[in-house]
Amino acid sequence: MKKGVNRRMNKINSRSCFAIKANRLLKSKRSQATIFIIIAVLLVGTAAIAFFVIKNNSSDLSSEFSTDPDVQAKFNQVKTNIDDCMKFTSQEALDVIGFQGGYYKKPLEYYDLSWIFIPYYYKQGKLLMPTNSEIQKQLGLFVDENIKYCFDSLDTGDFKIFYSSFKTNVKINAEEVVFNIDAPIVIKRQDKSIKFELSGQPITLNSRLKEMLEVAKFITENHGADETVCLSCIENMVIERDLSIDMIDWQDSSTLFVISTNNTGSNPPDFEFLNKYKPVGNINDITI
């Protein structure tokens, strides 16, 4: 068997097509592992501060702020912490968007797991997959609403950080996602303050999100009349993009699709969505 596809399905025909149909929940180890990963990422996301490099000249800013080397060093540390918050929040946005199928806010059709939700991309004949443009907006909205929590958790000593509202534009490109955060930041200490802009300083993160969306789009939009999809086509797509895919029987004739990257340095690690098919009679599960 070619690597890249772990195949769980209910029917395979002679033309290398499969019908993904189920009528009860499969309590598989893979689905449990996915849920535990989701919980871990969200818990880490509330506590961690990670890494981002902005192209402002920190030494120039620190010399403008003070001539005292001690104060300059502390100023640079505060600014480094701000930079770290920027990258961390962007990475967290990708992880959450991945687990929630491209959404930060709940769509019209989704399966609620209380701590997260999984959207439907196809539901008994209805196509519900969001566009790349909508996913970019959801990523930007996550950063806009959550970056402040990272800033507020920083230990800045006798320095103070002031900021107003954020406006983040996001572009999903091949093998990367680019975040451009537009916001003025003010760092103040005693009677001295300095203001700098984050706009025009893009954060570029390694990501297979565009490639994951290409696979998700093919699965969702290329059903036959009997709700079959070309298995060999999906297999070729994930191998070409250095991805893998799991198809897990879910509840009420739904299938959970988990598209994963094989690159450990890429965010999101997984991308999840549900497709719900028309109910069928009893069909034995087949694992290949």
* CA nearest neighbour of 182 among 161, 163, 168, 203: 168
Cα–chain-centroid distance for residue 198? 22
Q: What is the pLDDT of residue 62?
A: 62
d(CA 71, CA 39): 40
Residue 194 CB coordination number (10 Å): 16
Mean pLDDT of 263-269: 91
Work out the pLDDT band at 142, boundaries 50, 70, 90: very high
Work out the pLDDT band at 227, boundaries 50, 70, 90: confident
d(CA 138, CA 108): 15
Q: Is the pLDDT of residue 31 over 50?
A: no
Burial letters 159-192, b for 16+ CB under 10 A, else e: bebeeeebebbbbbeeeebbbbbbbebebbbeee
Q: Is the pLDDT of residue 48 over 70?
A: no
- Bridge partner residues of 186 (DSSP): 162, 195
Look up the pTM and report it.
0.76
Residue whose entry in the numeric block shows the structure tokens 């195949």: 7
Q: What's the length of the chain?
A: 288
Q: What is the pLDDT of residue 257?
A: 96
Work out the pLDDT band at 236, boundaries 50, 70, 90: very high
Taking the CA of residue 120 as centre, how many other CA atoms within 13 Å lie in the half-sphere pointing to its CB?
Answer: 20
